[in-house]
Amino acid sequence: MVAYDNVPTIASQEIVAGLVQEPNGRGTFSILWACLAVLLLNTWTVLHLNIPPPGERWYRRFVHKCKWFIICAIVPDGMLVNAYAQWRAAKKSVRDMRKFYPWWTISHGYYAEMGGYRILDQSEGLYYNFRAEDLAWLVQQKFIDLPKMPVKDLRDRSKTDAFAKAIACGQSTWFLITILARINQNLPITTLELATVAFIGCTWATYFFWWQKPMDIETFTTITVPRVSVEQLCNLASNTCFSGSHTHWYRPPPPDLIHGWDWFWWQKPMAMTRMEPINVGHRVPAELYELVKDNFTAHIRTSDWYRSAVNECHADEWEGLHHFLVWSIGLVFNGLHLAAWEFHFPTKAESIIWKVTALGMLVVTSMWVPCAYVLRRLGDTSRRKNLVYWAITLFYFLSRMFLMVEVFIGLREQPAATYYSVQWSTYIPHI
C-alpha cells in the first residue's frame, strides 16, 4: 500500500505498483468507485425494456433486465443503435397514426413498438404481438380500432425514475469535467477512465433516443377481434414485413425456418431451465410459412407475432441508415480506445495486445459498410458470408473481452502522477 502525503503539481515519471491509499491525492479505490458508479448507474437507468410476457414472475423480469444490463455493458454502441431504431419506428408511427388518432404521440409509438397493444383472436383464444407498423396497417384497413389513451395515463403507468436518471447524468457530467481538468493539467488518466468516457457518450445518446419511451410497464392493452384469418395475416406480412430480397450480410441464413428465427439468442426470450431461446416456429400457419420462407427478415418478423413478448432488438430489420450509424458510432467508440496508445501498461505484452485489439476493432468497424455492400450480393447460402460473419464476430468479441478485463487489471501498476489530484484552485479567478 502506498500513501502520498504531499501532492506535487507537476506529473512525475515514477511508476507505482500495487494499491494506493487515500486520503491525500487519489487512491486506487477512488478511481474504481468513480468509474464503476458511472458505469453501473448509467447502464441500469438507461435500460427501457419492452413489456414482459403476461404473468411473468418478478425474478424472471429481474434476470431479463440483468441479461440486457450485461449486453449493454459489453456493447453500448449496439444498444445505442437499437434505441435509435426504436426511436425511428416510434416517429414513423406518429406520422402514420395521426391521420386516425390526433392524440397519438411518440410515447404511444414506443408503447405500440414495445408490445403495448395485443390483438386477441376470440375464435382461437390466441394473442398476436403486433408492433407499431403492423398496427398502423391494421388501423388503415379498419380491422382494429385503438382506444384513446391520454399521454398522462401512459406516463402514469411508466415507472421512469427521473431522480435516478438525474443522479446518473449529474455523476457522468462531473466525471467528464474531472477528466478534462486532468488532461488540461497534464495529469495521466487510466484506461478504465478512458473506457468510461467512451461509455458515457453511448449512454447519453441512448438516453436521448429513449427519453420518451415508457419504462418498466408490465401490462398491455387488449384489442379483441372476432377472428384473425390466415389470409389477413398474409396480407399484413406482404405489406409490412418484406424489406429486401436478400439477407443482411451479417445475418447468415438459418439451416431451416422452424429453428432459424432463434438465430440471435440475445434477441429472444430464453427458457432458463434449458438455457436456449423459446421457439415459436411451429405456431406459424403453413400458408404464412410459404409466403415468408424465402425472406429472412420477413420470416423472423412474422414468427415474432406469436411470441408472448416483443423482442428487445430487431437487428434483422436494420437498413442502410442503421448500418451507417453502427459504422460511425463504432469509429468514435473504438477510436477513443486508441487514445491509450502511449499509456503506461504493467507489461509490454499488455501494451501490444491493447494496441492490436483496439486497432483491430477500429478496422473491423471501418469495414462494416464495404462488407455490407459486397456480401449482400452473395447468395443467401454462401459459405463465404458465414465465414466473414463468424470471423468478425469472434475477433470483435474476444477483443472487447480483453479490453474490459485489462482496464481493471491494468490498475495494478500506474505512473505516480495518476494519483495526483486536480488543482481546482487554478480555475478560480484571483484578484
pLDDT band at 57 (very low <50, low <70, confident <90, very high): confident
pLDDT of residue 109: 95
Average pLDDT over residues 309-317: 79
* DSSP 8-state symbol, 118: E
Dist CA 194 CA 67 (whole Å): 25
Which of 13-27, 75-89, 125-139, 206-220 is the least confident region? 13-27
Dist CA 113 CA 148 (whole Å): 17
CA dihedral 113, 300, 222, 121 (to 10 degrees): 150
Dist CA 167 CA 174 (whole Å): 11
Dist CA 135 CA 143 (whole Å): 9
Contact 331, 289 (CB under 8 A): no
pLDDT of residue 101: 94
Reported as half-sphere exposure (CB side, CA atoms, 13 A), residue 271 has a value of 9
Dist CA 13 CA 389 (whole Å): 44
Phi, psi of 319 (to 5 degrees): -110, -165
**What mean pLDDT is reported for the chain?**
82
Instruction: Give the residue carrying C-alpha cell 436518471.
Output: 165
pLDDT of residue 78: 84
Average pLDDT over residues 317-330: 78
Beta-carbon contacts of 406 under 8 Å, excluding residues fewer than 6 positions away, are: 191, 345, 350, 353, 354
pLDDT of residue 7: 44
- List the grid coordinates of 70: 450485461
Return the SS3 of 61.
helix
pLDDT tens per residue across span 261-300: 334 444 555 555 555 556 666 778 889 888 887 777 787 7
pLDDT of residue 299: 75
pLDDT of residue 185: 92
Dist CA 306 CA 258 (whole Å): 13
pLDDT of residue 251: 54
Return the SS3 of 17.
strand
Which of 152-156, 193-197, 346-350 is the least confident region? 152-156
Report how far apart, in Å, the C-alpha atoms of 78 and of each of 24, 132, 148, 311 are: 40, 22, 34, 15
pLDDT tens per residue across span 139-161: 999 999 999 998 888 888 888 77
Average pLDDT over residues 371-395: 68
Which of 4-13, 50-59, 126-135 is the least confident region? 4-13
Average pLDDT over residues 205-209: 93
pLDDT of residue 203: 92
